[in-house]
Amino acid sequence: MTSLCRKYCLEAIELSEKLIKLSQDTHYDCGDDYCLVLSGIILDSASKIHFEAEKRLNKLETQRA
């Protein structure tokens, strides 16, 4: 179970990094207000996902040691 949880945490981190990059690209390339609002929502959500997945991954690593 732990290895599956670790796998999903790593996938969540990878996905969140892609979403963060998408949001950053949108900020540079798009001037539309509604698009920027969506980009902010994506950035906020991806940051929260990344933080929680890292936290869980660290907890799994601590339990393993």
Record the tokens describing residue 60, joined without a space. 């799994």
Q: What is the pLDDT of residue 32?
A: 86
pLDDT tens by residue, the chain, 65 residues: 588 999 999 999 999 999 999 999 988 888 888 999 999 999 999 999 999 999 999 999 888 76
Q: What is the pLDDT of residue 2?
A: 80
**3-class SS letters over 1-65:** CHHHHHHHHHHHHHHHHHHHHHHHHHHHHCCCHHHHHHHHHHHHHHHHHHHHHHHHHHHHHHHHC
